[in-house]
Structure 1
Amino acid sequence: MPVSTQVTATRSPFSTLGPSRAWLVVGLLFLFTLMNFADKAIVGLAGVEMIKDLGITKQQFGLVQSSFFWLYAVGAIVGGMLVGKVPARWLLAGTASLWVIALLPMVWSTSFTTLIATRILLGFAEGPTAAMALTVAHSWFTAEKRALPSSIVVAGTSFGPILAAPVITALVIHHSWHAAFLVTALAGLGWIALWVMFGRSGHEAVADADHTESDSLTTTAPEHIPYRLLLTSGTVIGLCVLFFVSYSSTALKVSWLPLYLRDGLGYDATTAGNLITLPYLTAAIFIVAAGFTSRMLTKRGVSNRWARGGLASGLIIAGGLSTIAFSMLDRGPLQIALISIGASLVAASNGVAWTAVSDVTPPKQRGTIIAVVIAVYSVGGILAPLVLGKLVNDAGTSPLEGYSRGFMGLGIMLIIGAIISFFLINPERDVRRLTGRTTPDSDPDPTDS
């Protein structure tokens, strides 16, 4: 049977929708990452009330936020290995089901131990979210068209808190923080139903286009490259550095920014709930704008080194400068604007940077490489909340001093990490090296996993 006939025979009934089907899947993946971040944001948004009800210190609260990432890397690697082996329809539905299971106990529990246990489970289940969502999204688009859908999927991480912050704040004020866990669990069940009905991988729909000349890995590249070569390439190492610093910022934004506004700056619960949406709303705009910018640079012939690595690094450097600036200012509109801009620029870098993974990695190995990058940057998610929690706790009656020192250090780390990643991320160079040292006829590397 000819290859073209095989492709036609294996397509699902929805494949006839063509581009419409691809964007429907992108929309569902956007909701997937949106809910992922909303689930993470609950504890931070209800932090003041949970600290009081559970009778814990701020340092213990930092431990709660850090515990989310204890098995995050394990989940990322396990989930990444399953991508491509388990149908996306059931893999993502099963992952979201674990989220729901992790949220439900906190609908009634007031136990610190239970809270830690459920955050660990939720972190494990949410670890592979980016690997799964981006791998499925990339399967529907050729290389030069992936920046925009990648940015839309990543934008869900900003829209999650935009929708969650006012809703969760209202639930906490008028009901309790337990109600917030119930609502997000029910929303998860709704998404699972939609994904089972409409969600699919796009490999069969774009298989004939996935290795075209437009891809960084051209048709001359092997279907498999030894992982030791991929993982030691400058681009992958640079992405690990870039995401480590950017996710440290993200972790603090989710876990401590609501408390910073209330406990450090003195805003009331309602005002803080409204203000917390601003960084995420701005980020959602910046993320999509960065995706458009990367796409336009590529169309104009700009190298992926600049359209991916250079753009992403530049955004993080600017975000680091904004972070340093707001940590030195007093409460006011200018400080809120810099908080929003700083967080947004860092978030905007992510969608563009993720696209670089597909520039240097064969399709069947992308899920695993994305999972490894996630495993590395999850360390930032573990350390950042703990460090800030200790700084605030040690500040005693002057928590603002602890917050300021923590965010100042974050800004410096962002700038240093972005500079390092800029010099490492170079997809064109790494593709030449990888395809030059490995050919389709090469013997399997016995040390390769």
Structure 2
Amino acid sequence: MLISTSKTVALCSFSNLINAADRAIMPLAVLQMGPEFNWDMHAQGWLLSAFPIGYLSSQIIGAKFSKRFGGKNVLTFAVLFWSLLTFLTPLFAYSYATLVTSRILLGIAEGLGLPAVVHIFSTCVLADERSRAFGYLVAFGSIGQTLAAFVCPHLTWRWMFLLFGSSGFVWVLVWIFSFKEIRILTEDDDFIIIPPKLSSRTRWYDYLRHSQLWSIYLAHFSMSWTSNVITNWVPFYLSKFLGVSATALSFTAVPYIVNSFAGILAGHLADSLIMGNWTVLSVRRLMTVLGLVGPGICLIIFISLDNLVMAFSVISICMAFLACNSCGHLANHLDIAPNSSAITFGISNTIATVPGIFIGPLTAELVVKSGGRWLPVFMIAALVNFVGSIIYYSHSGSSQII
């Protein structure tokens, strides 16, 4: 990888680290903010759901803006805007409506980020280096969540937002003065494969009519349901029902560390199986089933535990299984829609954002209506995973359809 390419990948990966960290602050900060501002569970639930509302609306817009205005400009605006919103959160918090609005705007800004990075990678990173580039990008996202989970419990909630918001300003300065957008003009035919176009014109209807694509969309939806439950509510559950202190919640960083390493190992395993006697479809199905059924079982076990060490261990195993999805249904986009994988992934990621919108208030409603019981929350999440894995296994494919 050339020095200029390495610098581009590093800077973009750090932007994703800040992106992931900033969105992970609120589920930890709300543990302090709730009692201070007298928010009940419903208020906290809607607050946690505000971010996905914005995030849902801006991903396709981010892709179009990046193509029109350039990935550097869009990413600069996105990081600057979401960092400013994060930094000013302590001021917004005194008005619940203003705070919810700021969280929606934060979601919109962060939703612009990844499409801009993908656009930059498509023009600045050679074909045989893109797997590594995306590997670093995803890994740094997990590191961002890990960093937030480790640092935030040791801070007051105001300093959580001030610290991570400031880090975004530093990144913007480095980015503006050190990144120069380049475009690859030629590529060697020895290492680039251009997939055939099955149709001269692809309509939006084509992205919605294939059962293979819907199996991916629904698997992604299922994965996101579990991820949102773990990210938004497990810290609250550990604090309120297992008596975990605020500082001990820093151990919630461990599952994200496990997730990072598991994703790398799963990727190597998947490639090894494909190079052996396994078909691509068999590997995609195996990894998706592991990535959905495994977490479903872990959540059922988790709700029955009252031992803190065991609870952290099971959630860590759950996150390890979730990492398998990266080389399962998430990689399947490149198999069946190589010419349009960015669009199909955008659609998939938009659908996968939906659980984040209503899981907050739904969880609060389930817990309140059931008299403080959390069994329905985790059982529903497990059921969604099981159904998603069955649909994917029975309808997925690996042959190009678009």
Q: Which TM-score applies when normalising by structure 2?
A: 0.89
**For residues 301 and 137 of structure 1, do their structure 2 counterparts lie closer, same or farther at Cα, with a shift above 3 Å needed?**
farther
* Structure-to-structure mapping, 1:22-421, within 5 angstroms: 22-109=5-92, 110-137=94-121, 140-142=125-127, 146-172=130-156, 177-199=157-179, 204=184, 207-208=187-188, 212-213=192-193, 217-218=195-196, 225-272=202-249, 274-300=250-276, 302-350=278-326, 353-361=329-337, 363=339, 365-396=340-371, 399=372, 401-402=373-374, 404-421=375-392
What are the Cα deviations for residues 386-419 of structure 1, in whole angstroms up to 9, with x where unaligned? 21122223345xx3x22x3211221221121122
**For residues 205 and 170 of structure 1, do their structure 2 counterparts lie closer, same or farther at Cα, with a shift above 3 Å needed?**
farther
Once residues 283 and 30 of structure 1 are traced to their aligned partners in structure 2, the CA distance between those partners, rounded to angstroms, is 17
**For residues 186 and 279 of structure 1, do their structure 2 counterparts lie closer, same or farther at Cα, with a shift above 3 Å needed?**
same
TM-superposed CA distance for 1:325, in Å, is 1.4
Once residues 359 and 86 of structure 1 are traced to their aligned partners in structure 2, the CA distance between those partners, rounded to angstroms, is 29
Match for residue 424 of structure 1 among 388, 395, 399: 395
Q: Bigger CA drift: 287-296 or 239-248?
A: 287-296
Q: Bigger CA drift: 247-256 or 274-283?
A: 247-256
Q: Which amino acid aligns with 1:25?
A: T
TM-superposed CA distance for 1:55, in Å, is 1.4
Once residues 7 and 29 of structure 2 are traced to their aligned partners in structure 1, the CA distance between those partners, rounded to angstroms, is 33
In the alignment, structure 2 segments of 5+ residues that lack a partner are: none
TM-superposed CA distance for 1:275, in Å, is 1.9
**For residues 376 and 125 of structure 1, do their structure 2 counterparts lie closer, same or farther at Cα, with a shift above 3 Å needed?**
same
Once residues 293 and 112 of structure 1 are traced to their aligned partners in structure 2, the CA distance between those partners, rounded to angstroms, is 47
TM-superposed CA distance for 1:352, in Å, is 5.0
Q: Which amino acid aligns with 1:142?
A: A
Contact 1:96 1:192 in 2 (8 A): yes
**For residues 45 and 394 of structure 1, do their structure 2 counterparts lie closer, same or farther at Cα, with a shift above 3 Å needed?**
same
Once residues 285 and 132 of structure 2 are traced to their aligned partners in structure 1, the CA distance between those partners, rounded to angstroms, is 15
User: Runs ≥4 in structure 1, deviation > 6 angstroms?
Assistant: none
Contact 2:75 2:112 in 1 (8 A): no
Q: Which amino acid aligns with 2:295?
A: G
- Aligned-pair RMSD on alpha carbons? 2.8
Contact 1:150 1:351 in 2 (8 A): no
Once residues 155 and 92 of structure 1 are traced to their aligned partners in structure 2, the CA distance between those partners, rounded to angstroms, is 19
Once residues 130 and 285 of structure 2 are traced to their aligned partners in structure 1, the CA distance between those partners, rounded to angstroms, is 15
Q: Which amino acid aligns with 1:230?
A: Y
Once residues 354 and 265 of structure 2 are traced to their aligned partners in structure 1, the CA distance between those partners, rounded to angstroms, is 28
Once residues 257 and 383 of structure 1 are traced to their aligned partners in structure 2, the CA distance between those partners, rounded to angstroms, is 16
Contact 1:249 1:410 in 2 (8 A): yes
Once residues 243 and 360 of structure 1 are traced to their aligned partners in structure 2, the CA distance between those partners, rounded to angstroms, is 16
Once residues 178 and 188 of structure 2 are traced to their aligned partners in structure 1, the CA distance between those partners, rounded to angstroms, is 22
Q: Secondary structure, in 3 states, of the residue corresponding to 1:56?
A: coil
TM-superposed CA distance for 1:374, in Å, is 1.7
**For residues 309 and 350 of structure 1, do their structure 2 counterparts lie closer, same or farther at Cα, with a shift above 3 Å needed?**
same
What is the aligned residue count?
400
Contact 1:147 1:294 in 2 (8 A): no
Contact 2:287 2:324 in 1 (8 A): no
TM-superposed CA distance for 1:286, in Å, is 0.9
Q: Secondary structure, in 3 states, of the residue corresponding to 1:167?
A: helix
Q: Which amino acid aligns with 1:414?
A: N
Contact 2:284 2:327 in 1 (8 A): no
Contact 1:154 1:287 in 2 (8 A): no
Once residues 328 and 29 of structure 2 are traced to their aligned partners in structure 1, the CA distance between those partners, rounded to angstroms, is 32
**For residues 193 and 49 of structure 1, do their structure 2 counterparts lie closer, same or farther at Cα, with a shift above 3 Å needed?**
same
**For residues 373 and 167 of structure 1, do their structure 2 counterparts lie closer, same or farther at Cα, with a shift above 3 Å needed?**
same
Once residues 351 and 132 of structure 1 are traced to their aligned partners in structure 2, the CA distance between those partners, rounded to angstroms, is 22
TM-superposed CA distance for 1:254, in Å, is 2.0
TM-superposed CA distance for 1:188, in Å, is 0.9
**For residues 238 and 198 of structure 1, do their structure 2 counterparts lie closer, same or farther at Cα, with a shift above 3 Å needed?**
farther
* Equivalent position of 1:6 in the other structure: none
What are the Cα deviations for residues 218-274 of structure 1, in whole angstroms up to 9, with x where unaligned? 4x65686333223333443222111111111222222212111101211111112x2
**For residues 374 and 316 of structure 1, do their structure 2 counterparts lie closer, same or farther at Cα, with a shift above 3 Å needed?**
same
